[in-house]
Amino acid sequence: MEILLLNGDALEVEEGATCLQAAQKISDGLARNAVAAKINGVLCDLSKKLAQGDKLEIVTLKDKEGLEVYRHTCAHVLAQAIKNIYPTCKLAIGPVIDNGFYYDIDFNTPITQDDFAKIESEMNKIIKAKTPIERFELPRAEALKLMKKYKESYKAELINDLPEDAVISFYKQGTFTDLCRGPHLPNTGKIKAFKLVSISGSYWRGNEKNKMLTRIYGVAFAKKDEMDAYFQMLEEAKKRDHIKLGKELKLFALLNEGKGFPFFLPNGMVLKNTLVDFWRDLHRREGYVEIQTPIILTRSLWENSGHWDHYKDNMYTTKIDGEDCAVKPMNCPGGMLVYKNSPHSYKDLPLRVAEMGLVHRHEKSGQLHGLFRVRCFTQDDAHIFMLPEQIKDEIIGVVKLTDRIYKQFGFKYKVELSTRPENSMGSEEDWNTATAALQAALDEMQIEYEINEGDGAFYGPKIDFHLQDSIGRTWQCGTIQLDFQMPQRFELEYVGEDGLKHRPIMIHRAIFGSIERFIGILIEHFAGKFPLWLAPVQVKILPITDRTLPYAEEIAEKLLDLGIRCEVDKRNEKIGYKIREAKMDKVPYVLVVGDKELEEHTVNVNKRGVEEKTTVALDEFISMALAQIAEKVIF
């Protein structure tokens, strides 16, 4: 029979041939590296049989799906090892996560990380055995009997949630069998590098009313050197921890009196306001107007927007004058009211409306983490109201602005296009139109992107930007969401060229995403060593003696008049100690002034990260610093 390969070539294979056999016919090397396959776009095991006309793609560890299959099999090897060591435990779920996997397990006797060595040893035995992994399927009733036999009550509960006529898939490796959709590696011997890393508690199905299970996390990589590099990155990340540096640099405080509500200190406010000023300047140039909407709005507004039905569990609610109200988790509905406050013509559009809006979202205490996961944050929102024919150009404009901002901080990024989720609002036609418009804009700009199926907002598809920081980690920040729904729900209108009323199309977008989170990312990206234009203290001036203190203060006055943030260290301490402290504070420039500098009207410049010190005329230093600030140089 004949099948088709990804490049369009036809391949003759035996009737009933498997994906692995087809891979062997293509090349021995491909077959050795194969971990899974795609038949007509659907990921499957290499043992899956092909049919006439199938389109085949062989998946290796160079593919994202290949690594996911690899890591999923690691989770099954972990489960098998644990069942071998602790036969009375019960298995729950074991999915793939970034860089690894975890498994939730109900132990009769609690375990700790001290037990990881013997679990890893058992896993290595299973891997060394190169045990074949085989898929089989059972009707629902027989699947339940099998799980009852193995006393796996959590698996039985999952099966009970499936339809009566469902065919349930399992995977067997030696004496171990697990309920799983798959696919998996052809045998355990293909696993080359893994490590168990941490343990935590986790409620069954994420419900606090259910039993607390033990979650064991592991990482897995295609090669050992990749895993070694990952752990080196983690060590570097510890040094860059924004919570630690935020405290040391006096940027923000996390206090018990406001859990999840960060306190910004003077240095942190300088950093935050500098970011906001940069944002405002760019948006003013791009034709945005700025608004501010209330923090608390009535329940009827949130019902109209759909948030009350789709997002209520994450909202803080209250009563005012007997009326149900909610603290805003998003700025969008307020923006709709601003648009409706005035009549609009097609000549007014596109209308670009920006808001630095403080929003509040209820996060569980266990999920809070520094500035990355908080209960209130400032979102750099904007809503663009436009004509249908303006969609592509406006999306392109937002992408260009986003690119301009990210490059300013030295970030590389990747782009994802997220499509319609299950709980979406609106017609299929609107969703198809919106998704096609986003794709057309990205294609026209020749931007590479991945499709993230089913992860759009409930009101529209979106483009997400994932930043890569200086040590290779990725962060989801910016988003562009195309919305046909909310203008309809709020009955937004404009008068068209034909004199009739029409409905505008809307873009929701944020670039920083959350100012607080973005600051956390910047702290770790720069390891607290902010570029000159961002640094809370840009210059520190150190007089060597009391005689040079007036000269130091004269310098400070001149710098401050020019908008350069500076401080004079007047303490009666040795100059070496002052320099070391300034370095610990990661100040970009430290100016040491002694008798010689006073006489010659110069400064001795200590540049952060540079061992060599230079003496230059004061005016020369000021010109250099002003140029670096104006150009927003990163060093």
Q: For residues 553 and 593, what is the distance between their CA atoms, to the nearest angstrom? A: 11
Q: For residues 418 and 584, what is the distance between their CA atoms, to the nearest angstrom? A: 43
Helix (H, G, I), strand (E, B) or coil at 265: coil
Residue 506 one-letter amino acid: M
**Peptide bond between residue 350 and the one before it cis (omega within 30 degrees of 0):** yes
Q: Decide if 212 contacts 205 (C-beta within 8 A).
A: no
Contacts of 36 (CB under 8 A, 6+ apart): 43, 44, 45, 46, 59, 65, 66, 69, 183, 184, 185
Tokens of 560: 């401050």
The secondary structure of 480-539 as a DSSP string is EEEESHHHHHTT--EE-TTSSEEPPEEEEEESSS-HHHHHHHHHHHTTT---TTT-SS-E
Q: Which residues are catalytic?
A: 332, 361, 379, 381, 383, 462, 508
In 204-283 the beta strands, taken as DSSP E runs, fall at: 212-221, 252-253, 263-264
Q: For residues 453 and 418, what is the distance between their CA atoms, to the nearest angstrom? A: 6
Residue of 504, 483, 512, 516 lying closest to 332 (CA atoms): 483
Q: Decide if 490 contacts 336 (C-beta within 8 A).
A: yes
Phi-psi region of 136 (alpha: psi -120 to 50; beta: other; left: phi over 0): beta
User: Given the DSSP bridges, would you call strands 288-290 and 351-360 parallel, antiparallel or unpaired?
Assistant: parallel
Provide the residue count of the chain: 635
At residue 286, φ and ψ (nearest 5 deg) are -90, 10
Q: For residues 537 and 529, what is the distance between their CA atoms, to the nearest angstrom? A: 11
Handedness of CA 385, 387, 388, 392 (dihedral sign): negative
Residue of 347, 385, 386 lying closest to 499 (CA atoms): 347
Q: Decide if 615 contacts 605 (C-beta within 8 A).
A: yes
